[in-house]
Amino acid sequence: MKKYDVLVIDDESDICETLQILLEAERYQTLTACSADEAEVLIEKYEFSLILCDISMPGRTGLQLISHLRQKGLSSAVVMLTAHSEKEKIIEAMRLGAVDYVTKPFHPEELLKRVLGWTELGRRLQELVSSSSESSATSLEQRLRMIELFRLKNNNTAKSSS
């Protein structure tokens, strides 16, 4: 299975295009999808370290997509994109295993600083999953605990560098 660094999922094609250009300029291999259905096809075909996913999209929302993919064993780091401070949706995204969220409009430099940590987290989660020989339910629980630990570590690192 071919591996990519980042999958960007947003129903606004200009957001997808902007993020793809920004990320590829920093040498991240990136694909984009404009819907949850299109994203699911790519996720079944390729492996991604990081998924940047819009929370609110027509049809299936980003939350519905991530919930479905986590149930199927998705091990990528997921960061939700939101145009509003949708606190309830953000809390739900974190409960589903998102490692962080970004409010649009975002500052490109700030986003790029954080992408490195997120992609590394995704790689570590994938290593954890591939080395785990336990049942899928236990593996999912372990992954979610690891996400929480990395989220705490990244938050502490970000605060200390500010």
Q: How far is CA 85 from CA 90, 101, 102, 162, in A?
A: 8, 10, 10, 22
Alpha-carbon dihedral angle through residues 148, 149, 153, 156, given to the nearest 10 degrees? 60
Give the integer Cα–Cα distance in Å for 151 and 157.
10
Name the architecture of domain 3-161.
Answer: 3-Layer(aba) Sandwich (3.40)
Q: Answer with the residue of higher pLDDT: 86 or 144.
A: 86
**pTM for this model (two decimals):** 0.79
- The domain limits of the chain are 3-161
Q: What percent of the chain has pLDDT over 90?
A: 46
User: pLDDT tens digits, residue range 71-114?
Assistant: 888 888 999 999 877 788 888 998 888 989 998 888 999 899 89
The number of CA neighbours under 13 Å toward the Cβ of 134 is: 10
Collapse the DSSP code of 20 into the 3-class scheme (helix H, G, I; strand E, B; otherwise coil) and give the result: helix
Cα–Cα separations (whole angstroms), residue 154 to 10, 108, 113, 120, 150: 25, 18, 12, 11, 6
pLDDT value of position 133: 47
Q: Is 101 left (phi over 0), alpha (psi -120 to 50) or beta?
A: beta
Phi and psi at residue 99, to the nearest 5°: -90, -15
Q: Given this model, what pLDDT does residue 132 score? A: 61
pLDDT band for position 17 (50/70/90)? very high
Which residue would you say has higher pLDDT here, 43 or 83? 43
